[in-house]
A and B are shown apart, each in its own frame.
Chain A
Amino acid sequence: MSGSNRLRMRRAALVAVATLSLISACSSSPSSTASGGTGAASADAKPLVIGASVSLTGDFADPGKAVKAGYELWADQVNAKGGILGRKVELKIVDDTSSPTQVVTNYQNLINQDKVDLVFGPFSSLLTVPASQVAKRYGYAFLEPAGGGPAVFAQKLDNLFFVQPAPVVKSGDIFADWILSLPAADRPKTAAYAELDDPFSAPIAESIRARFEAAGITTVYKEVYPAETQDFSPIMSKVAAANPDVLVSGTQSEDAYAQVKSLVQLKFSPKFMFMSNGANSPVEFPSKVGTANTAGIMSAGDWFPGSTATGAADFAAAYIKAYGGTADTIDNSSAEAYAAGQLLEEVAAKTGKIDNATIISTLHQGTWPTVLGDLKWDSIGQPEGAFHLVQWQNGSLVPVYPTAIAKAPAMYPKPSWGG
Chain B
Amino acid sequence: MHALVQGVILGVLTGGVYALMASGQTLIFGIMKVVNLAQGAMVIMGAYLAYQLFVSFGLDPFLAIPITTVVMFGLGVAVQLLFLRPLRRDDKSELSLLVTFAVALLLEGIMSVTWSTTYRSINTSYANSSWTVLGYQITAVRVWAFALSLLALGLLFLLLNRTRFGRAVRATVQNPESARLLGIESDRVAALGFGLGAATAAAAGSVYGLLYPFYSGSHYDLISRLLSIVVLGGLGSVGGAVVAGVIVATSSAVVAATVSPAWSEMTFFAVLILVLLVRPQGLFGTVGRGAI
Contacts and interface: CB of A to CB of B under 8 A. Distances in A.
Given A233-B10, A253-B119, A254-B119, A226 B261 contact: yes
Interface residues of B, number: 47
Contacts of B118: 62
Nearest to B90: A5
Contacts of B58: none
Given A231-B14, A233-B10, A265 B3 contact: no
B265 interface: yes
Interface of A is mostly: helix
Contact of A23 (B98, B108, B261): B108
B144 interface: no
A235 B261 contact: yes
A313 interface: no
Most buried by B among A225, A233, A257: A233
Interface string B96-135: 0011011101101110110011110101000111101000
Interface in A263-309: 264-267, 287-290, 293
A229 interface: yes
A349 interface: no
A11 B102 CA distance: 12
Interface string B1-35: 01100110010001000000000000000000000
A154 interface: no
Interface stretch (A12-20, A357-365, A384-392): A12-20
Contact of A12 (B98, B119, B137): B98
B213 interface: yes
A16 B253 CA distance: 37
A27 B115 CA distance: 12
A8 B7 contact: no
B257 interface: yes
A367 B131 CA distance: 55
B137 A234 contact: no
A254 B221 CA distance: 15
A126 interface: no
Interface string A63-83: 000000000000000000000
Contacts of A289: 128
Contact of B91 (A5, A226, A230, A288): A5
B261 A234 contact: yes
Interface string A205-237: 000000000000000000111101111011101
A254 B119 CA distance: 8
Contacts, number: 122
B128 A229 contact: no
B139 A61 contact: no
Interface residues of A, number: 48
A293 B112 CA distance: 30
A290 B98 contact: no
Most buried by B among A20, A231, A253, A261: A231
B213 A258 contact: yes
Contacts of A258: 212-213
B123 A287 contact: yes
A197 interface: yes
Contacts of A355: none
Nearest to B215: A254
Nearest to A23: B109
Contact of A59 (B6, B91, B117, B127): B117
Contact of A231 (B2, B132, B256): B256
B262 A197 contact: yes
A26 interface: yes
A9 interface: yes
A23 B117 CA distance: 13
Interface string A1-42: 000110011011101100110110011000000000000000
B56 to A, nearest CB: 16
Contact of A234 (B3, B87, B121, B212): B3
Contacts of A23: 105-106, 108-109, 112
B164 interface: no
A264 B128 contact: yes
B275 interface: no
B86 interface: yes
B260 interface: yes
Contacts of B86: 8, 11
Nearest to B99: A12
Contacts of B253: 231, 233-234
B261 A22 contact: no
B95 interface: yes
A233 B3 CA distance: 10
Given A16-B101, A231-B256, A254-B119, A5 B109 contact: no
A234 B13 CA distance: 13
A288 B6 CA distance: 24
Nearest to B261: A225
Contacts of B256: 229, 231, 234-235
A238 interface: yes
Contact of A228 (B6, B88, B221): B221
A12 B105 contact: no
Contact of B130 (A11, A225, A267, A293): A267
Contacts of A408: none
Top 10 A-B pairs, shortest CB-CB distance = A23-B109, A234-B257, A234-B256, A16-B102, A265-B130, A264-B128, A225-B261, A19-B102, A19-B106, A26-B113
Given A224-B262, A287-B123, 20 more contacts: A5-B91, A8-B86, A8-B95, A12-B95, A12-B98, A15-B102, A19-B103, A26-B113, A27-B109, A231-B253, A231-B256, A234-B3, A234-B256, A234-B261, A237-B2, A257-B121, A265-B129, A267-B130, A267-B137, A288-B123
